[in-house]
Amino acid sequence: LFDKLRRDSPHELTKIVPIAGDVTEAELGISESDQDVLKRHVSVVFHSAATVKFDEALKLSVTINMLGSERLVHLCHRMINLE
């Protein structure tokens, strides 16, 4: 994905800003200031955080795969530019 972006539209890379977070934490482990940036500027969200380990502890799997997704949807509902 990024190789194609670098090759075809390198100017678009300036729109990508890494933000640290953790789907197992409240508010996705994203600082309040970073959440404000996301809420005001993000128009597209790709969610790929998940565990696919079949021997993962059930509680952790549910926290990552279900609760993490729910937390992300909650944040997305607050994004004013989401398409």
CA distance 36 to 30: 10
Q: Each residue's pLDDT tens digit in the chain (83 positions)?
A: 789 999 999 999 888 888 999 999 999 999 999 999 999 999 999 899 999 999 999 999 999 999 999 999 999 999 999 99
CA distance 24 to 20: 13
Cβ neighbours for 48, distance < 8 A, ≥ 6 positions apart: none
**pLDDT given at position 82:** 94
The H or E element containing residue 76 is: helix 68-77
Domain count, the chain: 1
Residue 82 lies inside a defined structural domain of this protein: no
Which range of residues forms the domain containing residue 69?
A: 2-77
Residue 83 lies inside a defined structural domain of this protein: no
Residue with tokens 């398409």: 83
Q: Model-level pTM? A: 0.82
